[in-house]
């Protein structure tokens, strides 16, 4: 039996970010999950890539504006 080993294809993110992604796990509300799904579909990217871009494009700064008492972001 002849077996050939095909190297795993690099993900585009590996050359975009110059580092490999690793699996993470976190919990979200259905509202947040739906928003991620909607944007991923609109941009034609994965949910993981939506979160990656949010973290790299100022999303963490936006998270500081969230007021848990009212459940919304404040300007």
- What's residue 68's pLDDT? 92
What region, left, alpha or beta, does residue 18 occupy, with left being phi > 0 and alpha being psi -120 to 50 degrees? left
Per domain, the residue ranges of the chain are: 28-55
Residue 19 is given by DSSP the state S
Q: How high does pLDDT run on average in the chain? A: 85
- What's residue 35's pLDDT? 96
pLDDT at 12 over 80: no
- What's residue 1's pLDDT? 54
pLDDT at 45 over 80: yes
pLDDT in tens, 19-40: 888 899 999 999 999 999 999 9
């Amino acid at each position: 039996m002849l077996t050939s080993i095909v190297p795993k294809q690099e993900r585009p993110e590996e050359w975009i970010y110059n580092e490999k992604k690793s699996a993470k796990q976190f919990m979200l509300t259905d509202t947040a999950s739906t928003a991620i799904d909607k944007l991923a579909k609109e941009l034609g990217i994965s949910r993981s890539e939506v979160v990656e871009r949010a973290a790299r494009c100022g999303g963490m700064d936006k998270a500081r504006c969230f007021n848990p008492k009212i459940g919304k972001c404040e300007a």
